[in-house]
Amino acid sequence: SQTIHQWPATLVQPVGSPLSLECTVEGTSNPNLYWYRQAAGRGLQLLFYSVGIGQISSEVPQNLSASRPQDRQFILSSKKLLLSDSGFYLCAWSPGVSGNQPQHFGDGTRLSIL
Amino acid sequence: AQKITQTQPGMFVQEKEAVTLDCTYDTSDPSYGLFWYKQPSSGEMIFLIYQGSYDQQNATEGRYSLNFQKARKSANLVISASQLGDSAMYFCAMSPNRDDKIIFGKGTRLHILP
């Protein structure tokens, strides 16, 4: 069966520090991969998605970036964090076929910027 | 434009009663999928149920069923015999067939009372 791992679970970082959140999927190949951010008590905002290695689509202009160095690995990064980057970050995957596929989520990372 | 609307920000329901969470959607795509997710206080997003726009029957998964009314563009989630563990945030979502992205509503927070 497929599993998705996301880490760390919680992270406290000072303003201006770098960020690296990692997500890996097991038990499937060529998945679509997604990064979302959720502000407290709010809905999900799609940040990035990827349909293949090295293919990244950005949904929201910001100081975050994403990379997919391997088929089942998706990384969210920042060179300098802002206070507004605080939130709950979720990684998700879906089968690599077009449309109508549910996304399956990792357990999330709670990021607090001080 | 694609849009999901959940008009109930919060609901309180007595344990063992049935619950209906409302969802309406807007799309010009002829083919699409509809999803419901549950987010407990721990944060993970749990996929509950899927309905395809061309499916003739309403989807069911255990105590969950989706009341799909295509002409009204509504996709309400029905939870039968509610349990304390059903207390969570519930998100309705939609994906057009041509796209790998899912659009989420803002969610409904459900409280099950003992």
pLDDT in tens, B79-96: 999 999 999 999 999 988
> Who among B43, B44, B98 is closest to A99 (CB)?
B98
Q: Give the pLDDT band (50/70/90) at residue A41.
A: confident
- Which one of B8, B64, B101 would you mutate to disrupt binding with A, by most A Cβ within 10 Å of its Cβ? B101
pLDDT (0 to 100) of residue A99: 62
Ramachandran angles phi, psi of A87, nearest 5°: 160, -170
pLDDT in tens, A15-35: 999 999 999 999 999 999 999
Of A43, A45, A26, A42, the C-alpha closest to A34 is: A45
Q: Quick check: A87 contacting B, CB < 8 Å?
A: no
User: Using the beta-carbon criterion (under 8 Å), do A94 and B42 form an inter-chain contact?
Assistant: no
pLDDT (0 to 100) of residue A33: 95
Alpha-carbon gap: A42 to the closest alpha carbon of chain B (Å): 6
Q: Quick check: B98 contacting A, CB < 8 Å?
A: yes
pLDDT (0 to 100) of residue B98: 66
Calpha distance B47→A89 (Å, rounded): 17
Of A37, A105, A42, A49, the C-alpha closest to B35 is: A105
Q: Quick check: B104 contacting A, CB < 8 Å?
A: yes
pLDDT (0 to 100) of residue A39: 84
Q: Quick check: A92 contacting B, CB < 8 Å?
A: yes
Indicate whether B1 pLDDT > 80: no
